[in-house]
């Protein structure tokens, strides 16, 4: 844990230096998290960068969240949700055929009993069984897809909540250092 903290500090210091000079994307550390900071006391860019790095570290330790890691989790979760939805579409493959076989057997028995025509009963039973099997499979796919979407949405909402808490903590820290902060 101590090694991770030291690596985080060193990484943030390197990032803050890069971000103070506009970084690779031209954004500051705060702006990359959609937090906008204005120095109320005329702080220089290098000082602001150091303050942002310190506040980032404080907010991460205070909330237990790292917004960059949370973004990676969000992307991974979205991919898992899409995979679960794709798997849900495979539910019930062959259900029509299975239903037709079961319906044919039941129809043959009923047809033989009712009008001594097992063949006609089997045909009617097969058609009804195929329709019923497909309908059940469609409902199962729809339910599984909805469940995957709901789980994904709940996870995304939880991640957004953690990011929001981080932004609040980050902002409080910067405001204590005489910056005007909006997110």
167 pLDDT more than 80:
yes
Residue 136 has pLDDT above 80, yes or no: yes
* Residue 78 belongs to a domain: no
DSSP 59-104: HHHHHS--HHHHHHHHHHHHHHHHHHHHHHTTTTTTHHHHHHHHHH
Pair 118, 129 in one domain: yes
Residues 89 and 122 in one domain: yes
- Whole-Å CA distances, 15 to 21, 97, 180: 10, 60, 21
The token pair at 96 is: 């029509």
Average pLDDT over residues 83-102: 76
Highest mean pLDDT among 7-11, 80-84, 139-143: 80-84
* 88 shares a domain with 152: yes
| Better-predicted residue by pLDDT, 178 or 4 | 178
- Coil, helix or strand for 131? helix
Structural domain including 169 reads 2-70+163-182
Residue 89 has pLDDT above 80, yes or no: yes
Is 89 a domain residue? Answer: yes
| 156 and 174 inside one domain | no
Query: Mind listing the pLDDT tens digit for each residue in 101-119?
Result: 676 666 666 666 667 777 7
What is the tally of structural domains in the chain? 2
Clarify whether residues 177 and 148 are in a common domain.
no
Q: What pTM was computed for the model?
A: 0.64
If asked whether residues 152 and 167 sit together in one domain, one would say no
Region of residue 64 (left: phi > 0; alpha: psi -120 to 50; beta: else): left
Q: Is there a single domain that holds both residue 147 and residue 174? A: no
Assess whether pLDDT exceeds 50 at residue 3. no
CA separation for the pair 74, 64 (Å, rounded)? 16
Are 110 and 168 in the same domain? no
Task: Say yes or no to pLDDT of 59 above 60.
Answer: yes
Residue 179 three-state SS: strand
In a domain, 156, yes or no: yes
Judge if 9 and 57 occupy the same domain: yes
What is the mean predicted confidence (pLDDT) over 35-53? 94
User: Confidence class of residue 23 from pLDDT cuts 50, 70 and 90?
Assistant: very low
The pLDDT assigned to 2 comes to 44
Q: Is the pLDDT of residue 58 over 70?
A: yes
Any domain includes 76: no
- CA separation for the pair 85, 82 (Å, rounded): 5
d(CA 152, CA 160): 12
CB-based contact 13:53 (threshold 8 Å): yes
């Amino acid at each position: 844990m101590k090694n991770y903290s030291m690596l985080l500090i060193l990484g943030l210091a390197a990032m803050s230096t890069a971000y103070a000079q506009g970084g690779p994307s031209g954004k500051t550390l705060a702006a990359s998290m959609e937090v906008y900071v204005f120095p109320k006391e005329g702080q220089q860019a290098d000082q602001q960068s150091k303050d942002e790095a310190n506040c980032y570290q404080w907010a991460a330790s205070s909330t237990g969240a790292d917004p960059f890691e949370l973004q990676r989790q969000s992307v991974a979760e979205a991919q898992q949700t899409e995979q679960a939805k794709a798997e849900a579409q495979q539910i019930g493959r062959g259900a029509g055929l299975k239903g037709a076989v079961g319906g044919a057997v039941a129809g043959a028995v009923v047809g033989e009993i009712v009008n001594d025509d097992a063949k006609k009963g089997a045909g009617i039973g097969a058609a009804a069984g195929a329709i019923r099997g497909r309908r059940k499979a469609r409902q199962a796919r729809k339910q599984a897809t909805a469940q995957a979407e709901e789980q994904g949405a709940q996870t995304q909402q939880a991640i957004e909540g953690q990011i929001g808490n981080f932004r609040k903590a980050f902002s409080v820290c910067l405001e204590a250092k005489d910056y005007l902060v909006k997110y």
